[in-house]
Amino acid sequence: MIRAGSRTAAAKGVPFSASPVLAVKLPVWRSRLVLFVLFSAFAALAGRALYLQGISTEFLQKQGESRYARTIELPATRGKIMDRNGHVLASSMPVKAIWAIPDDVLQAPADKLRELARLLDMDERDLRKKLDSDRNFVYLKRQVEQDIADKIVKLGIPGIQTRKEYKRFYPEGEVMAHVVGFTNVEDAGQEGMELAFQKSLAGVTGSRRVIKDRLGRIVEDIESVREPHDGKDLTLSIDSKIQYIAFTQLKEAIERYRAKAGGVVVLDARTGEILALANLPTYNPNNRAVLTGAQLRNRVLTDTFEPGSTMKPFPVAWALETKRVVPATTYQTAPGRMTIGSATIGDAHAHGLLTVSQIIQKSSNIGTAKIALQMPPQEMWELFTTVGFGQQPKLGFPGAVAGRVRPHKSWRPIEQATMSYGHGISVSLIQLARAYTIFARDGELIPLSFQKLDQAPAGQQVISAQTARQMRAMLETVVSPEGTAPKAQVPGYRVGGKTATAHKLAGGRYVNQYVSSFVGLAPMSDPRVIIAVMVDEPIGAHYGGEVAAPVFAAVAANVLRAMNVPPDSSVTDIIIPKDAVQESL
């Protein structure tokens, strides 16, 4: 009854203070306990918040970021190498490296593995051998072209991954191999200009931190981007057309005379730019599976040889310069032998009384020696050193050699005599070609360049313009029917140069193997190019006028046409005598 009564009382709105519940006396500790529990719960929450926000923030933020932020590598491309006309000689293309986690891949079905081996152009057994490894990272093949890599990814074999990398392509191949050089799989220069300009050609890889959304799209940059810097393009002084001409003509000569090796260099006489530099034997930089040292050797720059008669114009020019002789001064070269001290030097044929001009034309050793012996060794040494013999060429090309000119204090008269016609000293073909700039440029020697120049560099006057002109007139007589190199004549153009045929040294003795060379200028009225040709160990013929001079003529004819040089001679029919003058060895 009471219960029912109280319910009616509450429903009827009995005042709160009169509520019977209040009359119940509970122990005080119960409310305290509730209060305490509530507060400790709050304290726990506050403590947790403090721990998350204050103490472990860094760790948590890192964890969070790693779930949405990614660092992306921004690859930089290696600079292109181009010739002077913008023709690409070397260019990097993106390719893929295929790598594998062996344990995962080996679980793939056999037919898929067979297909993979086929795509990789590998034997299936070799592939399995590669995969049979404890490591968990194995390169299957590097530098795989994009479309093949796509097909491999399509196979969907677990554990097969790709990585982006670059492959270098050389469209000109073997023709340009020695100048351009090549890079290794890591895209670092190994030879030639690729090595010389590694620093500026190689790019700097950049990176960026980004946020990716659930679909893998980049939505935001978190940090400032480290921009990648692509490598700088390199424009060479080489003209690929001239290079091709030089290469094919040299190749023809080497095949005809079954020679061991050879080199050609073509210089622009006005700027000192190297227009072409060809070597044989050569290699294909796109496929370097089998490479020998002989193929890699850049003979023009890294091989020295005893030049022989191509040296003769230098002492003769100096004698003219110092007024010791004039072009018409005569020397007796009969009977074709001359004894200096205990040694005897000789000419191939006794020529009799020769003018200075004819000494060059007929390439008389005795005449040159007689002229050279009129001057002190120091003067000759200084001349050789000034024009660059025995000096490291400042080309920035890896492996370029200095050659050898002994100090003048140790020269005996016989040595001075033999050096005047190019024996007992060693030079490289490029040094020889550069030294001839003093004849081509009215006495001025200029530095050479592998890079395209906007303007000619400053030169150094070595001999007077008048001497240079007199020497040019002499060099022109060399290619006349009475000279040693009538086969160097070029229809329509006046050309000139000097032949050389030198015995090779083997074990300190001269042997019956030869180096035939020719250094020439064209056109003579206003020289535009200097062409130096060297053929090593020709068989069947060995005179410079026979082996190297025709290469010069063919290269000069094509190069002058390619450079649009107007002809300076109306002679278009060439007379080549049956028995040309044989030069002295």
Nearest distance from C-beta of residue 287 to another protein, angstroms: 14
Q: Return the percent helix, strand and coil in the chain, to nearest 5.
A: 40, 25, 40
175 binds another protein (CB under 8 A): yes
Q: Is the CA virtual torsion 281, 434, 369, 404 positive or negative?
A: negative
164 binds another protein (CB under 8 A): no
Task: Determine the Cα–Cα distance for residues 351 and 335; give it in Å rounded to an integer.
Answer: 8
Nearest distance from C-beta of residue 219 to another protein, angstroms: 5
171 binds another protein (CB under 8 A): yes
**Binder of another protein out of 93, 291, 343, 506 (CB under 8 A):** 93
155 binds another protein (CB under 8 A): no
Q: Which residue, chain included where needed, has tokens 């040094």?
A: 431
> Closer to another protein at the Cβ: 224 or 292?
224
- Here the tokens at position 301 are 């720059």
Task: Determine the Cα–Cα distance for residues 91 and 93; give it in Å rounded to an integer.
Answer: 7
77 binds another protein (CB under 8 A): yes
> Closer to another protein at the Cβ: 376 or 491?
491
566 binds another protein (CB under 8 A): yes
- Here the tokens at position 493 are 């153009």
Task: Determine the Cα–Cα distance for residues 24 and 22; give it in Å rounded to an integer.
Answer: 5
Q: Are 421 and 443 in contact, with CB atoms under 8 Å apart? A: no
Nearest distance from C-beta of residue 572 to another protein, angstroms: 4
With a CB cutoff of 8 Å and minimum separation 6, the contacts of 570 are 492
* String of contacts with another protein for each residue 199-238, x by CB under 8 A: --------------x---xxxx------------------
66 counts as catalytic: no
Nearest distance from C-beta of residue 573 to another protein, angstroms: 7
Three-state DSSP state, 449: strand
- Which residues, numbered 430-489, are part of the site for another protein (CB under 8 A)? none
Name the active-site residue from 309, 420, 426, 584: 309
Nearest distance from C-beta of residue 143 to another protein, angstroms: 15
Q: How far is CA 31 from CA 21, 25, 34, 384, in A?
A: 16, 12, 5, 113
With a CB cutoff of 8 Å and minimum separation 6, the contacts of 440 are 269, 472, 521, 527, 530
* String of contacts with another protein for each residue 482-521, x by CB under 8 A: ---------xxx----------------------------
**Binder of another protein out of 199, 573, 578, 579 (CB under 8 A):** 573
Nearest distance from C-beta of residue 407 to another protein, angstroms: 46
Task: Determine the Cα–Cα distance for residues 365 and 486; give it in Å rounded to an integer.
Answer: 19
With a CB cutoff of 8 Å and minimum separation 6, the contacts of 402 are 390, 391, 392, 393
287 binds another protein (CB under 8 A): no
35 binds another protein (CB under 8 A): no
What does the binding site for another protein look like in residue numbers (CB under 8 A)?
77, 80, 87-89, 91-94, 169, 171-172, 175, 213, 217-220, 240-241, 244-245, 248, 491-493, 557-558, 561, 566-567, 572-573
List, by residue number, the catalytic residues. 309
